[in-house]
Structure 1
Amino acid sequence: MGRIFVYELLSAGASCAAEPADAELLAAGRAMRDAIVGDLLRLSGLHVTCAVGGAPSFPHRPRLTTASPRPGEPPAAFVQRLARQHDASWVVAPETNGMLMRLHDAVGAARWMGCSAAAIRIASSKRATAALLDAHGIATPLAAVDAQRWVVKPDDGAGAMATRVHASRPAALDDLRRREGAGGAATLEPFVEGEPLSISLLAGPHRVETVALNRQQLRIDGEGWIHDLGVHSHAVDPRTDPRAPRLQALGREVARALPGLGGFVGIDLVWNERRGPVVIEVNPRTTCAYVGLSDKLQRNLAADVLALHAARKADDAVAA
C-alpha cells in the first residue's frame, strides 16, 4: 500500500491563522488540502497522512491519519520528518521567502510530487519568469511598453499579495523604491488590461496537458490594491470559446520554455483584446483551481498527479 503525505502550509498551522488578514488564505488552503486528500482517498491501495494545525479537522475515514507539528517545530523540519515516513509527499505552499523551495529540499527530489528545484527557483521570481518566457517568444508584461498603468508587487509573491496598481510610472517607481528601501524584493511591470484567466496544467517528463481554463476574480480598490476574490475553475468552455485552442497551446509553450514543471501547476494570464494571452506568472504548485475540478471534469486528478510522479521517478532511475 502506498503512503502519501499531504501538507498545506497554512492549514498545518504554519501561519498566524487567527489574524483576520489570514482568514481567507487559510480557508483557501484548507479547501485545497481537503480536495487533494479526498481525491487520494478515492484511489485504492493508498494510505494518506494529512498535516493539520491544532485539533484534527477530518472525520474518521479509512486509510486516513492526521499529523501535527511538534510545539515550536519549523515547517521544514516537520515536513522532513513526515516525508521520511512516506513514499511521496504532495506539498502546497507559497513561493514567498523561498518557502516552497525549502520544503522541496526538506522532502527531497525522489519523494517530491511536483516541480523540480530548478523550475521552482525560476517560477519563484516574477522577473526571472518573465525574462525566460519573453526569451522564448511568449507574451509577458515586458512587451506592454505602451501601458497606461503600472503595477508593483513582491518578486516572490503568491497571487495578488501586496500587489498595487498605479496610474503612472513615476508613482509606481516611488512605490518600488519604498519597498526596496524597506528590504523587500519587489518588481515593477506594465499593467496588462484585459480579462484575468488561468490555465491548469498537468505536466511531466513526457506529458503536458491543459486540463482546465479558469476565470480569475480580481478587484482593484480605490487605492490601487488588487484583491483576489477566488477562481472559477473550468469556466472557459474549450468546446465553445474561440480562445481555447490558443490557451491550450500556450500551456504547452510555457512547459517547453520552463522544463521541470511537474504535477498540477497553474499559469496566470490576462487576455488582452489586442495582444491575446499575456502570461503574468507561473505557479509551480497546486493552485485553488484544483478545488472541485475532479468532479467538474469527471476524472480523478490525483491519479494523474501520481502517474506523473511515477513517470518522473522511472526516468530518474534510468538516468542513474
Structure 2
Amino acid sequence: MKILVFEYITGGGFNKQTLSDSLAEEGRLMRSALLDNLTQLNQTRSNRLEITVMMDWRLNDSASMTGINTVIIRSENDITEEFARLVKQCDLVWPIAPEFDGILQNLCQTVESLGKILLTSPATAVAIAGNKLKTYERLNRHHIAAVPTRIFENIYSPGEWMVKPVDGVGCADSYVLTTGQDFERMATQKGQYVMQPHLQGAKTSLSCLFKQGSGWLVCANLQRFEFIQQQYHLTDIVVNHHPDFGRYQPLIDKIARALPELWGYVGIDLIESDHDCMAATAPVSLAAFPPSMEVKSGGTTPWTGEVESRLEQRSRATQGAIADDCMDAGGRAMQGAIAETWVLEINPRLTTSFVGIYDALGINIAEAVLQLVHGEPILNPAYNTPITVQAQQETHAS
C-alpha cells in the first residue's frame, strides 16, 4: 500500500512566503518522528508500505531519507493541486497541519472527497475541534468541564482574561489581558478572537487515540511555560510525565462520547488546579481558585454565573469520589492534593508530544493508528520513562 505524509510547514504549505525557522523545526520534528515510525513498521511487515513525503525545496534533506519517496514542492507549484495529485496516487494519507484558516479541515476534505483512507480525524471533527468556541459548546452540552469561552468583545471586565484566535495554534497570538487599555489594544487586531478566564494550574496534555466514540490514553504529558510580556511561551514538554492512567481515562471516555467524530491521534490540553484533600468535600467555589480567575458576583462579566455554576456542578458530581480519594486503606482521612480538571482545547492531529512517545514508551503510534483502520489499537509499552522534548519559542502545537 502507498502512504502519503504531508507535514504542512516542511512540505511546501508556505512555499510562496517566508518560512519561519521555529515553525520549520517543529514541523520537521513531527515529520521525522512519523517517518521513523513508518520505517520501523516496515521492518516488521511482510506487506511493506511505500512511503511518499512532500518537502519544501528550501528544506530538502531527502538524501537522509533512505527508502522514502520525496516530492519537492517549489515556489511555482500550487500546493493544493500538488497535494490532490499525490493523494490520487496513494491509498493512505496522513496530513499534519495547523487548524487556522481551515488548512487542516480542507486537507482532510480533499482526502475524503477522493475516496482515500484518511489517517486522522475527518473534516467534520476538525470543524469542531479546530474551533475553540465550538469545542467549548460541544463539551459544555455534554457536561464536561471546559474553560468557559466566548467571542471577544471590547467590553472590559475586572480580572485576568486569556484572549486567543478562535482557530489558533499555540501561543503566538494569545494574550493575557488585565486592563481596559489591554482590551482596547486587542480590539484593533484583525481576525476573530475568543476570551476565557485566565485559569492557573498545571498544564497537562494527553496523547490519545480515538475511534467512533471510544478513546485510549497513550500517555499524559506536562507542558512547561515561561510567561513574558502578557504571553505564554512553551519551553518544553515532559512526555509521559504522569503514570496514573486511571486519573484521565474517565475524561477521555466522556470526550469520546461527546465527539464521536474524533479518529486517530488526538491531543487534549488540560488545566489542573490542585486542592487540599481535607477541604475537598466542601462545595467548590471561585474562592478555591487563584485570584486570576476570580470574578465578583454581580459584575458585568457575561459568564460569571456560568463559571460559578460549573464549579458547583463539578463539586456535587465528584464529591463522593473526592472523599474516597482522600481516605487511606483504613478509611482514615489523609492530607493530599486532588485536581480540578478543565479541558482547554482539543487538537485533532499529531502534536509536539508525539515526538517523544516512542522513546518514552516504545509505542509505535503509526502502527496503532493503522490498527484503528480495521479494529482497536494494541498499546503495550515496552518501557515506561519520561522524555523531555524541547519546544520552539515562537509557537507550539502541544
State whether structure 2 residue 157 is matched by structure 1 residue 154: no
Alignment partner, residue 31 of structure 1: 29
| Distance apart, 1:260 and its partner CA | 1.2
Alignment partner, residue 164 of structure 1: 175
Q: 1:127 is paired with a residue of what secondary structure? A: helix
Identify which of 198, 214, 229 aligns with 2:235: 229
CA distance in structure 1 between the partners assigned to 2:231 and 2:63 by the alignment: 39
Matched to 1:284, the amino acid is P
CA distance in structure 1 between the partners assigned to 2:181 and 2:147 by the alignment: 18
Q: How does 1:100-179 map to 2 (within 5 A)?
A: 100-108=104-112, 110-142=116-148, 148-168=159-179, 170-171=180-181, 173-179=183-189
Q: Which moved more, 1:291-300 or 1:94-103?
A: 291-300
| Distance apart, 1:16 and its partner CA | 6.9
Cα 1:85–1:229 shift into 2, 3 Å: same
Cα 1:39–1:271 shift into 2, 3 Å: same
Q: Which moved more, 1:78-87 or 1:7-16?
A: 7-16
Identify which of 307, 327, 342 aligns with 1:278: 342
Mapped contact 1:172–1:188 kept (Cα < 8 A): no
Q: 2:369 is paired with a residue of what secondary structure? A: helix
Identify which of 51, 66, 77 aligns with 2:70: 66
State whether structure 2 residue 303 is matched by structure 1 residue 303: no
Alignment partner, residue 40 of structure 1: 38
TM-score w.r.t. structure 2 length? 0.70
Identify which of 192, 206, 222 aligns with 1:199: 206
Q: 1:141 is paired with a residue of what secondary structure? A: coil
Q: Residues 19-62 of structure 1, C-alpha deviation per residue, up to 9 Å, x if partnerless?
A: 58x22221111000000011011123111111111153144555
* Runs (5+) with no aligned partner, structure 1: 239-243, 313-320
Q: Residues 244-301 of structure 1, C-alpha deviation per residue, up to 9 Å, x if partnerless?
A: 4232221221121112111111001111125611111100111111103123212211
| Distance apart, 1:191 and its partner CA | 0.9
Q: Identity across aligned pairs (percent)?
A: 29
* Runs (5+) with no aligned partner, structure 2: 150-156, 276-338, 377-398
Mapped contact 1:41–1:47 kept (Cα < 8 A): no
Mapped contact 2:213–2:261 kept (Cα < 8 A): no
Alignment partner, residue 241 of structure 1: none
CA distance in structure 1 between the partners assigned to 2:118 and 2:27 by the alignment: 19
How many residues are aligned here? Answer: 299
Alignment partner, residue 315 of structure 1: none
CA distance in structure 2 between the partners assigned to 1:195 and 1:62 by the alignment: 41
Mapped contact 2:213–2:257 kept (Cα < 8 A): no
Alignment partner, residue 224 of structure 2: 217
Alignment partner, residue 292 of structure 1: 356
CA distance in structure 2 between the partners assigned to 1:225 and 1:52 by the alignment: 32
Q: Which moved more, 1:248-257 or 1:188-197?
A: 248-257
| Distance apart, 1:303 and its partner CA | 0.5
CA distance in structure 1 between the partners assigned to 2:34 and 2:340 by the alignment: 32
Q: Which moved more, 1:300-309 or 1:87-96?
A: 300-309
Q: 1:251 is paired with a residue of what secondary structure? A: helix
State whether structure 2 residue 153 is matched by structure 1 residue 89: no
CA distance in structure 2 between the partners assigned to 1:229 and 1:60 by the alignment: 28
Matched to 2:76, the amino acid is G
